[in-house]
Every structure is written in C-alpha cells, then in structure tokens.
Structure 1
Amino acid sequence: MARRPATPLEATRTNRPGPGPARKASRRRPSRGGGRLWRFVVSVFLLIGLGMAGWLVSIARDLPDTSGLIEVERAPSLAFYDHEGRLIARRGSAHGRLAVIEELPDYVTDAVMAVEDRRFYSHFGVDLIGTARALLANIRAGRVVQGGSTLTQQLAKNLFLTSERTVRRKVQEVMLAFWLESRFTKDEILELYLNRVYFGGGAWGIEAAATRYFGKTASELNLGEAALLAGLLKAPSRYSPVNDAQRAAARATVVLDLMAQTGRITEQERIAAAATPIRVSRGASSPGAQYFIDWVAQDARALVGSHHGDLIVRTTLDVHAQRAAELAVSGIMDDPDLALGAGEAALVALAHDGSVRAMVGGRNYTTSQFNRAVLAHRQPGSAFKAFVYASAFEAGLTPDDIRDDAQIRLGDWSPQNYNDEYRGPMSLREAFSRSSNSVAVRIAEETGRGHVARLAARFGIESPQRVDRSLALGVHEVTPLEMASAYAPFANGGYRAPAYGIASIETRDGEVLYAARPADGEVVMDARTLGQMSDLLQTVVRSGTGRRAAVAGMIVGGKTGTTNDFRDAWFAGYAGDLVAVVWTGNDDNSQTRRATGGGPPARIFSAFMSGAPRSGLDAHPSSMPLQVAEPLTEAQPVAEPVPAEDPIAAFLAGLGRD
C-alpha cells in the first residue's frame, strides 16, 4: 500500500532525534581564577595593613618623651642695656613668666586663633577641612603655598619634633596632636602654645614677647599690639617691628581683618585698632644696634664664664646716638644721587674715653649681618695722613713750614696728586687741607716712615702697617673701629682710648661679675702736637676737602680719605664729645661713581653729629679721666712691633682723591 508524502510539519517532527540513551545533565563548573584573584587582593591588603600597622608602631616607639611637657627648659639669656639703662636687645632663650590664659584679654587668644587655627575649639587635633583646603591649594599651585597644621599640631612639633619635612615626622606630629587632645583641655593646649611659641627677637612665649616689643605684660596688651604679635607667628624675622615697622603694621592690619571676618571683633573695634599707633619699646626699635650686640655678645660670656645663668650686660651704647647714626646712614645711602655708586656704609662713634656710643655695620642688618665697622679691612687713603703729620710735628715741624707740592720720585715710584694737579710751595696746613700726596710723602721720608708707623700703632692702629714708601698714603688696610680709636687722641687731649663696648656684667641678683677698669691715662701726644693737629683738622672742615662735614654751632675737625679708583671713601673726625669714623664703598671692592671722602662719608658724619645727643662738650680738647674695657683678671696686651721696611714689597700708591 502506497504511502502518502509527509507534510512539511510531519517532516519536521520526523527529523527530530528520537529517544536515545539518557544523557547526564550538563553543568558548568565555576572558574577557579576569580577566587584566586579575590584571595590575592585580600592578602595584599592584609599585608599592606600589617605593614602600615608595623610602620605606625615603629613610629610610635620613636615618639619623644613627653614627661617634661609642663616644664619650660630655659637656656641662659643675655639682656643688653645701653649706658642709660635702656634695653637694647636680648640674646639666648628669653622666656618670660608663664602666661595664664584666664588673665589674658580675649582678643589676645582670638588674634592667635584667627591667623593660626580658626576651628581650634571644634576639631580633635587635626582639622580635616583645613587640611583638605590646603592640599587643594597646593595642588593648584604646584608647590606648597598653604599649611594645614592645627595649633595643636604646631605645639606638638614645637615641643617634641624637629622642623624636617618628612612623612614620618608628619605622622608623629598627628599622633602627638591626638595625644595632646586626649590629655589636655583646649584651654590648656592654648596656654601651652602661647607659652612655648617663638615671637622673634629671642622671645619665647607671649609674656617675653610683650616685654620685648612693648615693655609690658601680656595682660596689658591692647588689641593692635595683640594683632601685631599674632602676625609675627608666621615669620618672626620678616614681620618683626624691629626689622621693618611698616611691614609689621601691614601684617597686624591683616590679622585685624581676619578677626573681624570671623566675628571675633566688631568692625568698629577693627577700625579703632587700625587707627591707633603701635609703639614699639625704644630699646627694641633700633635694628642696626644688632651689629653692636653681635660685637659685644661674643665677649660677654668669655669674660665671666658660662655657669652664671641669665646675665645683664650694661654696654656703652647710647640708643639715641644709635638712631641718629642709622638715620644719617640711610638718609645719604638711600639717595643714589648722594651715595654715588657706594652700596654699603659703616659708622663708629666713640666717646672721648673710647666707649662706643653708636655702631652701624651696614645699611640693613636683616639683609647682611656682616659688621663692616669691625670686620671690614679697607684702605683708609688720605685719612691716614693725620698720623703722618702728627709724627712730623713731633719731629719738630710746624703747620707754617713750607714744602713743595710737586712731583716726587723715590726710585721707580712716583705718587700722583688728585687730578695730577700740583700747586708748588705751600704750608703744611694747606697741604693737609688739600690732601697733597706729594707733600705727605715728602714729610714721611723726612721724619722717617718707621716713626709714622710707630705713632699710628701708639694711637690705636692695630692692623699691620708695612714700613714702605707708600705708607704715607694709607694703602695698608684698617677697620673703621680702629680708625675711630686712633683718632680719639685728637679729640680728648692726647690720651690713648682703646674702643670698648661692655661697661659691666652682672647677674639678675645684682652681683657684679665684671666691670671696666679706669684707664691709666696714657698720654700718646704732647700738648704742642695736639694744638698743631687741631689747627690742621679743623682747617680741613672749614676750608678744605671736608667742608661737607661741618655742623652748625660745633667745632669740627677731621680728615677725608679716598682710595685708588674711588673704591673706598672715608671721613674720620670729631665734634663735641664724640669721635666718629664713616666709610662708604662696595663689598666687592668695585668702583663707585667717583665718590670721595668729602662726599657721602662727610655728609653722613655731619648728619649724625647734628642728630646725636650732646652733653655740652662742644669744644675740645677734653682731659677727662678715661675708661677702657679691661678684664678684671687680665693684663693689657702688648702692641706688636712695627715690621721693618721691605723695599721689594713696596706698595704702589693709588691716587689720593679727597
């Protein structure tokens, strides 16, 4: 029987596989790779965690001892006073008494928190908001422009850590901040901070700073003074009112603005404080006096030893004369038309007994601490001729003796006058006032170079002076300090007057450990020579090269000096009861714009003497008893002999331009 064709549907069904042997259900096994990765990641994180924990434990073990937190470890300090008992400066760790926060006006602590830690009372030792803000600012700037440390962190660093910038130190800082927050109240932390933080000028703590800058206790500070002290914390030297009063005032204004913005003071209080002048204590307001302090500080401990604790050093400085000196230097040197290319200056002023009344070692102490008044050895030029003429008068010459101002030749050496001008026969008085090189060399040869060198050493020139042909022209270097000491006999009646700066040293209990001894009044110049030199020195100021050094109403005598290529310019002289020496030039010994001793130095001398305090001694000479700085247990040093002439080492003189 024939079969009919299958329909498409039936064909489809027919083509399906029929029932066969039963198959086991197919199951996919999970991949073992994912589990291994997960376990690896967990293991890595565990290892990192353990490593971090170990690292933190090692850091914690290295944390410094905190047992002496409350005690303030004080290093002995030196307090320097001027000859009238006015505070000049403090050196060493000057800590005041511990401040008690309850005794401080609210605006004192508010000023500190406004600039150092606005959220101090709300964070737990680390300010996450402040840290994030500082981090973002630093990332944007590509460098560190903000810090996120809290006041607690700063205290931890100041108390226990160094200032190194490492991750390890920062972690320790955070740990210690947490420890401080857990151990002390916020008020106690703030009090610790105020008693330990550095305010510059050797002042550690708010009490020492209030005394240092304002001569009062911290509880007596007004709002403006509190803002100024708070502003110092960012950079004590940069914002110190002693170094830059204008910058300090601007910084205090910023602090007041922040206090007003954060609601710590009212707008009216801000305006009133900003309008009130801030008066820095007079002893602290003379930055240039730090040159003098550097000079005497190195001797203070050496004179009495280091086992006496805090000391009071009574110096010979006069703060009024010091300010007059600084103003005189800045008034001339800050004017390019008057400075004539001289970038630096030094001034030393002595009383007739050699006590230093003023010392300016440079134009700006914060820029350069090199004391040019004491350490800079420069050629004095014609200012040295005072000793040449004094030796000639000792040998019997007089100011009216005539010598020929004409070219002179000594072997292969022929010194020249300024501008190569010669005036023929003239008196020694005129030759000195015109600063003739040829006449100075003639009389030095006539009276003996060795005699000139010995007289200069007798008067106070301690730097070696070679006895060669150019000695008369001042080519051998000296310091302004020794020049001032050597010129003192011309003003005080002919007595030797070694320069000194320490009058006495005592403990805080008043025990005198050192006192300058009275000098023996060594006479180094006879009355006849003194009268003749007074004639010459005063003629220089009346009608010679030193006319710009004149001071109205005062008898002034002195001598100008200018060295080869106008590198150094000097004026050395006296007026009233002060002797002063001024030097101008450049540290790199480069040429000035034809600056002579009759230019910037003479102008500075006149300005200083016009502004310095007078004691009524407007005439000279004086024969008052002298004082010299002499250790109580040491003898006076013996002057070294003057070396003999070495013709081979003869120094070719420069032009004497005065």
Structure 2
Amino acid sequence: MEKFKSLDKKNKLKLLLYSILILISFFVTLISVTILDILNDVPKMDLNNLSNSFNQTSSIYDENGKLLEKIESLEYRTIVPIEKVPKHIKDAFISIEDERFYKHIGIDFQGIASAFIDNIKAGKIVRGGSTITQQLVKNVYLSNVKTINRKVQEAYLAIGVDKKLLKDEILEAYLNRINLGQGSYGVEAAAQTYFSKDVWDLNLSQSALIAGITKSPVEYPPFKRIPKDSYKDGELIGTMDINGEQMYLVLNPKAFERQKTVLKKMYSLGCITETEYNDALKFDIVSSLNPGIKKYHSMSSYSTDYIKSEAAKLLSKYYSVSQDEAEHKLFTGGYSIYSSIDENIQHDLENIYVNFKDYLNSNTNSNHGAKALSFTLDGTDNILDANGNIVYFQRYNFFDEEFNFKIDKENYNINSKGDLSITNSLFNTASNKLDIIDIYEINSDENLQTYNIGFLNIPRDVYEEKADYIIISSGFLKNKSDFYKIDANNNLIISKEYYSYESIPTLQPQSSAIILDNESGYVKAIVGGLDVNSKNLKIYNRATNSVRSPGSLIKPVVYLTALENGYTLGSVKDDVPIYIDGNMWPSNDYPGFGGLLTLRLALENNSNVIPVEFLQEMGLDKMKDTLKKFGIINSANASKDNFISLSENKYKSDENLDSLALGNMQRGITNIDAAQIYRTIATGGDTKDVSSVIKIEDANGTTIINNSTKKTEKSFDSTNCYLLTDALRTNVTRGIAKGAGTLKLDIAGEIGLNKFNSDLWFTGYSPKYTISTWIGCDSPKIELDADSKLILNLFKQISQDVNQNLPTTKFVKPDNIVEKYICQKSGNLGTKLCEEVDAGYIEKYKSGTEPTKYCDQHIKLLICNKSNRLASEYCPKEDVEYKIFFERQPAYIASERGGIYPDDYEYVPKLYCNYHDEDWYNKNKEKKKTKKQQKTTKDKSSKSSSKKG
C-alpha cells in the first residue's frame, strides 16, 4: 500500500487501468467458459431439414419392444408451402412478432433493447425480444423453461438456422409449426378450426385475428372450450366433442382486442393502407367465425388412447409446456413410447366386453324399465328422476327418424310479431343455457339406449327465459330463416344446424375395467366402455374420466385409517342405532342391526354403522389425511381433484360422515382411482403413481422419461396393509363379496354400493394383479336394478383369465404377525365359554397389539327352563341346565336406541326362578311323599295277592 502511494499519478493510472483489464479479461473468460458449457448441451439437429424435425411419426411399443402402433400426425396439422400463404397472413405475423425479420441475423439486438426499455418503463414484463427464428428453434428443439441457459442456446441455434436457411424457409417452418390454440398447429389448421376455411381464403381481418393468438394460445383464441358442466356465462358460438365430452365454444373478447392491435401495427409499418385498415376493423369478424369439427387423431382402442394421454402428460411435465403443446410433440416428434400394456391381457379383457350385452341380458331382468335398470315413466313415456324431473325424453316424442327437433303445437307459439315461444320443460332447467334434454329408446332386447343432444345454439341476447317458457326474438328469426319450419301437422321443426346430436345410441348401463400389476403399478389392460370394437374414434374412457360415487368401496379406506391409528382387526364396535343431529342414521343395507362386531366382521357384513362410529372417534381429518396419501384429495390444488371441501361448497361438500365413511360423495372417484387405492393396499402401502408408460425415447433414441426408475413411497404401515388384505380376503371367502374368488387363489376385495343405487363396483386383487370393475348408467340419475352377483361374476371372469398359471397364489404373511383366538363380541382373548357358543375365531395382529385380557363377558349360568330365570335351590334337576350368556358392559338400553334391539342382543337373567319357590317345593315334596306312600301301599297289596295265589 505504501508503494502504491509513492507512485506518481501517471503510474497510478496505468496500474489501475491494467487491473481493470485483468478483471474484464477474467469476466470475459468466465462468461465464455459458461457459454461454451451451455452450448455443449445444445441439441444436435439437422438444421437443413427443419420441417421434418417436427413431422416425425412417434411409435408405441410394448415393454419387450414389439411395435403396437404408429402414431400418424397428418390429422393434427396440414403443411402449407409458403407460396400458398397469402401476403396479409405473412405480414400480420411478421408485424406483430418480428418486424425486422428480413433484416436481422436470427436474433434482433434492436428488438431486445427496445423490449428491455419497455419492460423497465412498465415495471414488469410486457413484451419479449424473441424473433420468429428464436421462437421456431425454441418450440422445435428446446423446452419452454425460462432460464438463462435456454436463452443462450436459443440465440445460438437461431443464428445457425438463419445462416443455413433462407428467410422464407424459416417463415414457412414457423407458420406451419406455431401453436395457435384449440389444438391447432400452423396457419392452415387454425383457419380450419376458427373459420372452416383454407388459409388462402382468409381475409385481412381474419388473418390478423389468427396472428394475434401467437402471443398466448391460451389467452387469445377467438373462443374457448368450456366443459358442458362447467359453463357459467359468455356468448356461445358452437359445440365440439372432445374425448367423448361435449365442450361449449364461448366467445373470447380478448382475441378481438388483440386483433385490433395487430391491424394497427400492420398499418403503422405500411403493410396495409388506411382504407384496408378501416375495412378490416369494420368487418363483422364474430359472425364470420365458423368453428370446424376438429378431427382428432384416430385411436385404435381404449388402451392406446390411454397410453397417448399418459405420454402427453409426461411430455408436458418434462418440457414444461401445455397439454396441447405436449400432445403436438407426441404426434409429431418421432418419440418411442414403451408401454406396459400386455397385448394378450388386453385382448382377453376386450373379448369379455365384446359379449357384455349378452352377459347383461342373461343375468338381469327388465322388471322396472329395462335390463338391469329401474326408472319411472311419465304419461308420455319420458324417464323421470326421483324428484319427478325429466331425465330423458322418449326419442320420438320430440325427435323424428332424422333427429330433427320436432315440437308439437302444445309446446310452442308464434305471436303476431313473429316472436317464438317454446315451453322451457324441453330444456334442462338446471343449466344456464338452452340445453335440450337427451333422448332414449328401448331396443328389442329390452335394453336402454341413449342419445346425447346438445344445447340450442343461439346467441344469449336473442332470447329471454320466463317462468314457463323461453321466447326467441323475431329479429333473430328473420335473419335466420333456416332456424325452423312448420310441417303439415303444425309441428315446429328446428333445423339440426342449431344443435349437436349423437346418431349412434349408447347402450346403458355401461361398464369399465382396469388391470394393474401390483409390484410395478403399471396398467396391463384397460377398457373404458362397451365400445371395444371402435378402432377409428377417440372414444370416451369411463375407466379414467368418469367420476362416480364409490359407496361401500370406500369402507376399507376407513378401516385402514383405523388400523393406522391404533385399532386392530379385533377392535369391537356396536352396530346399533345411533343418532346424528337428532335423527337415527345410518341404517344398514341389511335388515336391522348386527350388534357387537369386530372390525373384520363389520367389513364382511358391510355394516354402515361401524365405519361411521370409527370416524366419529377418530375425527374426519384422519380420513382426509388418508385420502390425501391416496391422491384423492389434492391439498396443494383443490381444483385438480374431485373431492369437494367445505371451502369450495359449504352446502354440498364431502366433509361429512355420509361421504367419508359411506362413500356417498358429491362427485366421487374414477375407476383408475379405485384401482390405485386397492393396489396400494395390496403392495403394503406403496403409493407409486399408476401409469401405462414405462419410458419415452426422443427421436435420437435418448431416454428422456424413465418411469421404471421412479422411487416408490411407503405411505402406510405394511403390516396394517397386510391385515386389511386378510380381512378383504375373508370378505371374499365368507363375507358380502363371497363368490368373487376361486379355491386355488387368494383374492381380496370389496363391493361398492351407494345410497343412490347408481353404481356397482368391485375392486379386488390377487398377489399379482389388482382389478377394478364398474357398472352404471352414464346418467347417475338412472338407478340400477341388478343383484351384486352381476359385478362379482364379471370380476371373477376377468380374474380367472388374468391370474391363471401364476407362480404365487397366496398372500405372504409378514413375520411380525401373531394369531390369537378371540371372543368376537368383547375383542378379548377367547375362553372355553366363547368357544362353546361359537362366539370366537382366530384373529391376526401385529405383534404387540394382540389382546392380553381374557373375555369375562361370556358367563355360564344355571337356568330353570320353566321360568327362564336363574335356578333356585328349589328348582328340580330335571328342569335346570347350564347356559352361556354374553353380558354387555355397559348394559344395552333399548329406550336410548329408539326401542330397537340389535340382532345379537341376549337377555341375561338376573332374578331367580319364581316358578319353583318354597311353597311349590313344599307342595311338591308333599305330593312326592303321598305318591311314595301310595306306591308302597300298592306294592304291599300286590305282594299279598301274590301270596294268596
């Protein structure tokens, strides 16, 4: 320091500059090394053939590498050469996304600086500086994760692309690749999706609308797809069926504001004249919207459909992109998907469902409406629900052979002004739209067949809803002369162009099944409905998408919660009348009440009371914690589960005993949820996510997703899971599920029955596989009228096919299990008295939890048969015998239980015999004495007569 001070000013300045140069060199070197390191990870792509990089066919293989299906991509995007793309389309995209596209080298330094200044001024990110070339390489080669590394790689690739390709080649690839919302990739797909036109037929206004979507395919499409059940408000412009679910197309005002921004930018850059600009603004863009019927990729079966859905979800997570973007990558990215689906098991399962109609018809009757169903009809044969509301119209009441909506004179009127009024009972009044009630017919085999009918597709501002009718304005009708006509019988016929409908009926009830490999958690086979022969449609998968009330299928989850909280299979509860909020609830599905039952026997008897009692003691939060571990409740994001919490709906929630103890949920669970729950129990608490995808390789053969190495988490005590498995096993051998098993194989499982009579479930497992089956109508308002044997036999048939020739047929008992003979009423160790009255059995326990106290409630008493009281000293030996009684502690007081006694109730005598008292004894003694004397006299007389003779 002293030496530095001694230097003159000139040398000090030299030393300072030298130090700054060293620091600059250090930082430049550091940055260079960092950038080189980042660039080492840049994907090695053929930049001379960019179009093919996003047009490669992906393939699905089984786990052994056998090709199952090639996923074609043509239906998701139509490639359009740049020569066929109109100038106003190209100008619109370049103006709003990259105005110096033809001038920069792949990255735009002026654009980056301008964006930086604008963001600083706004105090937030309001625009980016990415060029069209950068966007292209990001979408083709990189992920959407916003990191410095990705931006460096993106810039490097963009410069490389710009050097090797002409600008029009880059623009062609971009315009055929860009995500434009609603599953549309590229300008031709967008033109068809939003206007049902080819891209070269779009005008300036329509082109600007499509270009505006690029900023955010989620925020700026001209309409949004809303599930039918989730629609609340907004102008409806059409419908679309996606994955078997009807979606409403709702106008999006943001898109039209964005369109104006695009047009203004085009005008300011001189791409269009003032006249063109004004004409484009005046154009009625909303009326020109004409949503095309999206033709989604053909699915060969429920199984490959499910594989693709799972693969898209995994790619979405891996690349941090939207589901639409991930699906696009799947169909165009040349991926190899290795699936767990076993072709042979899938084939066997589908064969069962091919003949399901015959199986249904031979095992059910049509006593209450149709085979396996129960419903009520009104005077014109429309199906009613329990509240008298119409669920389905009889098909020909309001529709003809061609599915024209036919309304008789009694249900419509046209006033002098030309306004049309229609009775509102033709529409689903629970809806916020003119949702036409669906229709049905009964076929020759007495099966119910339903047809889905959409909503009346007219703008919200052209009709009004009154108490008994809706009225459509004459102004709308004058402009839409094709909306209706009047036939010769004065019926009003509404054109099919104004609503959607299904022309092919759906058989009811439906069914689904899923088979999991216990150890891996992989799906081996899946069927989502009866349409197993359909190979050309992306059909609705009820196994994965249909959410239904599980009913008693949830009870083993209650019992697992109890085991996890210190109870045992031998814990005893009382199946007797209980009162909730002053009302006696619940009742059982069987007559009366069973009385004292262990946990195992409560499960086998399907008691409704005892699971309620367990949750009353433990608290609802314990059960909710269990459901969180199973993934049924998503504590991080409630919108992603089907459980309705009090915070979501305080009037109709699942946070109550009816839902949590008895499974009568507002929504419920899917079949795959049920399979995952029971598979977790089967594996001793392993909560690995169910999947049909083992691994995914990219187009270069690099494994990017590997589910086989995913770690599993033990969420439950393995011994408790084994104990519950054993209870579910005896449920199959002697309980309510008797008939689902076979003699040679251990099967554990449970029937699902709910209070709505809307669903039949059976979910069970062997040591190798978990199988979940479901039967029910697509509308849960239609009740089933079928014996539980229908679902038990279906499960048994599937189980026999999949479990044949297994090396392991028995559940393996852990070393820490002990067995004890217990009294089934007290839960204590059984005595000879318990054994004598067959009131005991051998129960299994986790070592250290077994009972140590012997039953002292079974008592032996000497009873007088004449009075049924305790024998007194006066009771003769021929009238007395020892009897064994169970003395409840505390005593059962029927008056506190509505005067109802449980089935196992025993009266234990406390009073002594009042028939054989002292007076009786003395009289009887005197009688015996007299009889004895008389006998002696008789004997003497007899001897005297003998001597005389």
Deviates more, 1:584-593 or 1:312-321: 584-593
2:553 alignment partner in structure 1: 383
Matches within 5 A, 1:526-541: 526-541=717-732
Alpha-carbon deviations, 1:525-583, whole Å to 9, x = none? 22431232022100111011212321342110011111124211111111131112111
What is the TM-score with the length of structure 1 in the denominator? 0.51
Paired residue type of 2:589: Y
Paired residue type of 1:344: Q
Match of 2:738 among 529, 541, 547: 547
Q: CA deviation at 1:368?
A: 7.6
* Conservation of the 8 A alpha-carbon contact between 2:299 and 2:305: no
Q: CA deviation at 1:474?
A: 0.5
2:621 alignment partner in structure 1: 450
Q: Is the alpha carbon distance of 1:313 and 1:538 closer, same or farther for their aligned partners in structure 2, counting shifts above 3 Å? A: same
1:85 alignment partner in structure 2: 65
Separation in 2, partners of 1:509, 1:621: 44
2:529 alignment partner in structure 1: 362
Identity of aligned residues (%): 23
Match of 1:302 among 309, 313, 316: 316
Alpha-carbon deviations, 1:207-249, whole Å to 9, x = none? xxxxxxxxxxxxxxxxxxxxxxxxxxxxxxxxxxxxxxxxxxx
* Conservation of the 8 A alpha-carbon contact between 2:311 and 2:693: no
Q: CA deviation at 1:478?
A: 0.9
2:301 alignment partner in structure 1: 287
Paired residue type of 1:396: G
2:664 alignment partner in structure 1: 475
Q: CA deviation at 1:314?
A: 0.5
Q: Is the alpha carbon distance of 1:472 and 1:73 closer, same or farther for their aligned partners in structure 2, counting shifts above 3 Å? A: closer
2:218 alignment partner in structure 1: none
Paired residue type of 1:601: I
Q: Is the alpha carbon distance of 1:300 and 1:469 closer, same or farther for their aligned partners in structure 2, counting shifts above 3 Å? A: closer
2:682 alignment partner in structure 1: 491
2:541 alignment partner in structure 1: 371
Find the residue that maps to 1:559 and give its secondary structure.
strand
Find the residue that maps to 2:579 and give its secondary structure.
coil
1:146 alignment partner in structure 2: none
Find the residue that maps to 1:404 and give its secondary structure.
strand
1:133 alignment partner in structure 2: none
Matches within 5 A, 1:601-620: 601-612=791-802, 616-620=807-811
Separation in 1, partners of 2:734, 2:793: 15
Q: CA deviation at 1:456?
A: 2.3
Paired residue type of 1:467: E
Q: Is the alpha carbon distance of 1:539 and 1:76 closer, same or farther for their aligned partners in structure 2, counting shifts above 3 Å? A: same
Paired residue type of 2:73: S
Paired residue type of 1:429: R
What is the TM-score with the length of structure 2 in the denominator? 0.36
Find the residue that maps to 1:570 and give its secondary structure.
strand
Separation in 2, partners of 1:575, 1:583: 18
Gaps of 5+ in 1: 1-70, 96-161, 170-283, 624-658
Paired residue type of 1:320: N
* Conservation of the 8 A alpha-carbon contact between 2:774 and 2:791: yes
Separation in 2, partners of 1:416, 1:432: 15
Q: Is the alpha carbon distance of 1:423 and 1:359 closer, same or farther for their aligned partners in structure 2, counting shifts above 3 Å? A: same
Separation in 2, partners of 1:453, 1:388: 10
Matches within 5 A, 1:147-166: none
Q: CA deviation at 1:362?
A: 1.0
Find the residue that maps to 1:417 and give its secondary structure.
coil
Separation in 2, partners of 1:403, 1:331: 44
1:399 alignment partner in structure 2: 569
Matches within 5 A, 1:71-110: 75-93=55-73
Matches within 5 A, 1:626-645: none
Q: CA deviation at 1:94?
A: 7.7
* Conservation of the 8 A alpha-carbon contact between 1:288 and 1:326: no
Q: Is the alpha carbon distance of 1:363 and 1:383 closer, same or farther for their aligned partners in structure 2, counting shifts above 3 Å? A: same
Q: CA deviation at 1:74?
A: 8.9
Find the residue that maps to 2:772 and give its secondary structure.
strand
1:408 alignment partner in structure 2: 578
Alpha-carbon deviations, 1:77-122, whole Å to 9, x = none? 2211222333333322389xxxxxxxxxxxxxxxxxxxxxxxxxxx
The count of residues paired between Structure 1 and Structure 2 equals: 371
Find the residue that maps to 1:456 and give its secondary structure.
helix
Find the residue that maps to 1:478 and give its secondary structure.
coil
Find the residue that maps to 1:560 and give its secondary structure.
strand
* Conservation of the 8 A alpha-carbon contact between 2:305 and 2:538: no
Q: CA deviation at 1:73?
A: 12
Separation in 2, partners of 1:285, 1:319: 16
* Conservation of the 8 A alpha-carbon contact between 1:286 and 1:319: no
Find the residue that maps to 2:609 and give its secondary structure.
helix
* Conservation of the 8 A alpha-carbon contact between 1:492 and 1:622: no
Q: Is the alpha carbon distance of 1:520 and 1:303 closer, same or farther for their aligned partners in structure 2, counting shifts above 3 Å? A: closer
1:438 alignment partner in structure 2: 609
Separation in 2, partners of 1:427, 1:594: 31
Matches within 5 A, 1:179-190: none
**Greater relative contact order: 1 or 2 (C-alpha under 8 angstroms, separation 6 or more)?**
1
Whether 1:577 aligns to 2:743 is no
Find the residue that maps to 1:444 and give its secondary structure.
helix
Q: CA deviation at 1:424?
A: 1.9
Paired residue type of 1:469: L
Runs of 4+ in structure 1 deviating by more than 6 angstroms, as ranges, are: 71-74
Match of 1:461 among 632, 655, 658: 632
Whether 1:351 aligns to 2:522 is no
Find the residue that maps to 2:623 and give its secondary structure.
helix
Separation in 2, partners of 1:511, 1:583: 39
Paired residue type of 2:523: V
Q: Is the alpha carbon distance of 1:75 and 1:497 closer, same or farther for their aligned partners in structure 2, counting shifts above 3 Å? A: same
Separation in 1, partners of 2:63, 2:527: 17
Q: CA deviation at 1:622?
A: 9.9
* Conservation of the 8 A alpha-carbon contact between 1:313 and 1:506: yes
* Conservation of the 8 A alpha-carbon contact between 1:432 and 1:536: yes
Separation in 2, partners of 1:473, 1:312: 44
Find the residue that maps to 2:770 and give its secondary structure.
strand
Alpha-carbon deviations, 1:323-358, whole Å to 9, x = none? 222233444454323363451111122112321111
Paired residue type of 2:524: R
Q: Is the alpha carbon distance of 1:489 and 1:301 closer, same or farther for their aligned partners in structure 2, counting shifts above 3 Å? A: closer
Q: CA deviation at 1:420?
A: 4.1
2:342 alignment partner in structure 1: 318
Q: CA deviation at 1:376?
A: 0.9
Separation in 2, partners of 1:622, 1:327: 35
**Structure ranking higher in strand proportion:** 2
Whether 1:425 aligns to 2:450 is no
Matches within 5 A, 1:15-414: 75-93=55-73, 287-299=301-313, 301-302=315-316, 306=329, 309-334=333-358, 335-338=360-363, 340-341=372-373, 343-352=509-518, 353-365=520-532, 366=534, 369-413=539-583, 414=585
Separation in 2, partners of 1:356, 1:493: 18
* Conservation of the 8 A alpha-carbon contact between 1:492 and 1:621: no
Find the residue that maps to 2:580 and give its secondary structure.
coil
Separation in 2, partners of 1:75, 1:520: 34
Separation in 2, partners of 1:621, 1:489: 16
Q: Is the alpha carbon distance of 1:364 and 1:406 closer, same or farther for their aligned partners in structure 2, counting shifts above 3 Å? A: same
Find the residue that maps to 2:657 and give its secondary structure.
coil
Find the residue that maps to 1:443 and give its secondary structure.
helix
Q: Is the alpha carbon distance of 1:605 and 1:403 closer, same or farther for their aligned partners in structure 2, counting shifts above 3 Å? A: same
